[in-house]
Amino acid sequence: MSLLEVDALSKHFGGVTAVDGCSLSLQLGSITGLIGPNGSGKTTVFNLITGFIARDTGDVRFKGESITGLGPNRIYGLGIGRTFQLARIFPRLTALENMLVPVRRSGVRALFSRGQWHDEKDRAMEMLAAMDISHVAGLLGGSLSYGQRKLLELAAVMMARPQLVLLDEPAGGVNPALVERIGEHILELNRQGVSFLLVEHNMPFVMGLCQQIVVLHRGAVLAEGTPAEIRGNPAVLDAYLGS
């Protein structure tokens, strides 16, 4: 079953066509990679799917229903979480407080107060523990290392138990040992049923985690396939070398 369908999405900024008729489909339970040279439109596709910016044309469907035109909080509440290319952490809030922001902001807090889930602080501590960063719960966001911020952001987005998470360069700028740990956390969450769309320039990381890879070039899908198929595709190499 397809969890997310992106259908002929386009977006331009002034004279720049950032996304140009992009279509892709994510299978339920999958980890799908979205790769492409700098400026090929990956982050813009994320912003369009998650409602951070409005598309010019095209449609996004989640579990068969159009979510086009909905705002970011509604979309988060429906079960699509995201992280940012540069982790968005509030430097003057503690790590634990940072965890509670997306819940309070998006209105998914109602799910806690209805007693559907246990207390939000317990849930936050549980997710910090799952990411092996319980020890930073009381530290200010601004004092965390780059890798810890990435893990905190991943923990925070899991607060509302999203079914799909869009990760924008989760390994970018992170030291190799921590990159491996981040990969393990993604796989563990995937085993628990979370699907992922993953943007990343670290090719061994993407190839190791994803079953399916979509290559974006100038805002459109250039190729799609298994890691082996993408690795052997000369058009993909040309796109990277040409940009």
Ligand X SMILES: Nc1ncnc2c1ncn2[C@@H]1O[C@H](COP(=O)(O)OP(=O)(O)OP(=O)(O)O)[C@@H](O)[C@H]1O
Residue 18 sits in the site that holds ligand X (CB under 6 A): yes
Q: Out of 9, 20, 36, 68, which residue is the one contacting ligand X (CB under 6 A)?
A: 36
Sign of the dihedral through C-alpha 113, 117, 119, 124: negative
For residue 26, how many other CB atoms are within 10 A of its CB?
23
Rounded distance between C-alpha atoms, residue 238 and residue 243, angstroms: 9
Nearer residue to Mg ion within complex by CB, 123 or 150: 150
Residue 34, classed as helix, strand or coil, is strand
Is 43 a residue that touches Mg ion (CB under 5 A)?
yes
Residues ≥6 apart with Cβ < 8 Å to 230: 35, 207, 213, 215, 223, 236
Q: Is 54 in the site for ligand X (CB under 6 A)?
A: no
Is residue 147 involved in binding ligand X (CB under 6 A)? no
- According to CB under 6 A, which one of 39, 58, 72, 77 is a site residue for ligand X? 39
**Residue 198 beta carbon to ligand X: minimum distance, rounded to whole angstroms:** 13
Which range touches ligand X (CB under 6 A), out of 25-33, 36-44, 71-79, 184-192? Answer: 36-44
Query: Which are the contacts of 173, defined by CB distance < 8 A and separation ≥ 6?
Result: 146
**Residue 47 in contact with Mg ion, rule: CB under 5 A:** no
CA gap 168, 11 in Å, rounded: 18
For ligand X, the binding residue among 4, 10, 22, 42 (CB under 6 A) is: 42
- Taking the complex as a whole, the smallest distance from the CB of residue 52 to Mg ion amounts, in Å, to 13
Q: Which stretch binds ligand X (CB under 6 A): 10-18, 132-140, 153-161, 175-183?
A: 10-18
Q: Which residue is nearest to Mg ion (CB)?
A: 43
50 sits near Mg ion (criterion: CB under 5 A):
no
| Residue 40 within binding range of ligand X, rule CB under 6 A | yes
Binding segment for ligand X (CB under 6 A), chosen from 41-49, 106-114, 117-125, 223-231, is: 41-49
Residue 12 vs residues 6, 9, 53: alpha-carbon distances, Å: 17, 11, 11
Contact between 22 and ligand X by CB under 6 A: the answer reads no
Give 44 or 148: the residue with its C-beta nearer to Mg ion: 44
- Checking 188-195 for CB contacts under 8 A at 24+ apart, the result is 188/130, 189/158, 189/165, 190/29, 190/31, 193/29, 193/163, 194/158, 194/162, 194/163, 194/164, 194/165, 195/3, 195/4, 195/26, 195/27, 195/28, 195/29, 195/30, 195/31, 195/32, 195/163, 195/164, 195/165
Of 38-46, 94-102, 158-166, 232-240: span binding ligand X (CB under 6 A) = 38-46
- Give the footprint of ligand X on this chain (CB under 6 A): 13, 16, 18, 36, 38-44, 85
- Give the footprint of Mg ion on this chain (CB under 5 A): 42-43, 85
